[in-house]
Chain A
């Protein structure tokens, strides 16, 4: 397998008539990286993938693979292999013929193709299944055959278009680990498209979060989660409590925002440091797991008084739904430590959060539920 080859999108615009599907995308994917495009459906992430694979040309800007401009080079000439959302395995060919199709195209002799297919079947943990028909395999097995088929083409870049979306939860989680380990083994660049933030965060070295054709943030998973750059990223990736208000006080790194739930202290997101001004419309985001129950009547920063409205038990955690000042709805997640949550519906609690875990961003678009 060839070592990692980088992919660059340089000011890429893609338009369909008057509709702008992708707007000014600038992405730099390093060789050997597992890179994800994360976003809701219709945000343009599949369009970007098709531009990289060559099924469509950008209206403006350049796609470069390994430093080479790809303009005018068709999908059958690019060093990429695409795994389709529905896999698109050939139903009338045997498993090994599917896997070795790219070699058949290159005119490799049958015996050699067969040998290579067996090696790849070994890699995807389906040894000796080459003579089966695709229809005889289970969903997860088909998934792996699609990966083997793409790898057989010896691409420099593997493109994956939500390939796990059709699998059930358990299998999906299993395949995440498997994909990641296959990527480590073959060492080529993976570009992964998904709307599932769990997939993006667990597998990727870096994630690009997209909204309506625009890339909002490119960073590693932890940064995306802990230090989102826009209100959209904060609301789309993971769960978040949002409090809207105006900036009241500012220091270099932190701000106090006057919201319906009272004055909240929070850290200023790195992306807007120095830009946020007093009096700005702002949003404070606090993760459910950043909350904890404080001693009754405790005072200080990061305290909210609220009444328990409802409780949900989800195995590893309790979700407590609270009604705070100004009729704000707050979700608090407490780790299940074997004891009960210690509160009951109707209780009045003081909940506390670490002000470093609360993020202030300028008010903006939120991910729709």
Chain B
């Protein structure tokens, strides 16, 4: 500790410590703890908060699992199925992004050089200068019944009636897939960029076809980047709100939308908190399980 101050000086050292402490405690630990605390409380009118009625209980979690009292089903069918659907859809979006971004990242990292590569990277980034909600609306317009896709399809005579991409959830998955693409590309790009080109040539020299070069040399090397990208995309997609709100079809519901309803229209913060805690923990467990499956250590992701 004394060394730390010696190296950075008293003023800067204190500043660094205070900011790191602020980040960890105020921005990470306290909000999560208060959410956790909320999730174990009844939704009481303000007058009763802090009275004898305000005790810790698991009624909110019970509600997510089994629904309201008198529910004819044996568990909360609506919320649980939305929950599962959200996780599966997030997984699907993650895999889709991976399939899309790996070749892109490989091309950027190994095949293009200099100016053209920088232009491509810029083209990737520029759309993200636009607000997330505006981007979602742009997708809604593109996929709308008179949008450019339907117009093109009708114009070329492939279809007669416009396809309802919104109702079919095509717009939703496209929007979600696009929303976090950068978080997939850049970790993979960084990993592949540090791969020695000679290793690819060595594998080729020994007779390996392109797919084996990727399977045995490039992908193992890029694994930390792939994991990092998949983790972020999965977490953020499962927790996305804007895209499902704007692009979701009338029958589709994202779990975050249910959480949002509990907090906002439902006015039941404790229940919303419980739902949010369940989503967060499930995502963490899921990601850890995946990492275990693919034999990746936590430290590699932080790289």
Residues of chain A at the chain B interface (Cβ within 8 Å): 53-55, 74-77, 80-82, 84-86, 88-93, 101-102, 104-106, 149, 153
A55-B205, A74-B204, A105-B206 are known contacts; what are 5 more A-B pairs with Cβ within 8 Å?
A81-B205, A82-B202, A84-B198, A88-B198, A90-B203
Q: Which of B196, B208, B220 contacts A105 (CB 8 A)?
A: B208
CB distance from A69 to the nearest CB of B (A): 19
Q: Are A81's CB and B206's CB within 8 A?
A: yes
**Can you name the residue of chain A whose Cβ is closest to the Cβ of B208?**
A105
Q: Which of B196, B207, B220 contacts A76 (CB 8 A)?
A: B207
Q: Can you list 5 A-B contacts (CB < 8 A)? A: A76-B209, A81-B205, A89-B199, A91-B221, A105-B208
CB distance from B66 to the nearest CB of A (A): 48
Q: Are A102's CB and B216's CB within 8 A?
A: no
Q: Are B196's CB and A86's CB within 8 A?
A: yes
Q: A76-B209, A105-B212 are in contact. Are A88 and B199 (CB under 8 A)?
A: yes
In the bound complex, how far is the Cα of B208 from the Cα of A326, in angstroms? 63
CB distance from A108 to the nearest CB of B (A): 12
Q: Are A101's CB and B205's CB within 8 A?
A: no
Q: Are A86's CB and B198's CB within 8 A?
A: yes
Q: Which residues of A contact B198 (CB under 8 A)?
A: 84-86, 88
Asked if B201 CB lies within 8 Å of chain A CBs, one says yes
Asked if B217 CB lies within 8 Å of chain A CBs, one says yes
In the bound complex, how far is the Cα of B196 from the Cα of A102, in angstroms? 19
In the bound complex, how far is the Cα of B220 from the Cα of A144, in angstroms? 24
Q: Are A92's CB and B221's CB within 8 A?
A: yes
In the bound complex, how far is the Cα of B198 from the Cα of A91, in angstroms? 12
* Interface bracket on B: 10 to 19
**Can you name the residue of chain B whose Cβ is closest to the Cβ of A83?**
B202
In the bound complex, how far is the Cα of B207 from the Cα of A55, in angstroms? 12
CB distance from B12 to the nearest CB of A (A): 37
Q: Are A101's CB and B203's CB within 8 A?
A: yes
Most buried by A among B202, B205, B207: B205
CB distance from B223 to the nearest CB of A (A): 8
Q: Are B208's CB and A75's CB within 8 A?
A: no
CB distance from B57 to the nearest CB of A (A): 50
In the bound complex, how far is the Cα of B215 from the Cα of A93, in angstroms? 12
Q: A55-B201, A75-B201, A82-B202 are in contact. Are A88 and B196 (CB under 8 A)?
A: yes
Q: Which of A53, A89, A91 contacts B205 (CB 8 A)?
A: A53
Interface positions, chain B 264-289, Cβ under 8 Å from A, are: none
CB distance from B3 to the nearest CB of A (A): 30
In the bound complex, how far is the Cα of B201 from the Cα of A81, in angstroms? 11
In the bound complex, how far is the Cα of B220 from the Cα of A76, in angstroms? 21
Q: Are A84's CB and B201's CB within 8 A?
A: yes
Q: Which residues of A contact B203 (CB under 8 A)?
A: 90, 101
CB distance from A345 to the nearest CB of B (A): 50
CB distance from B166 to the nearest CB of A (A): 45
Q: Are A153's CB and B207's CB within 8 A?
A: yes
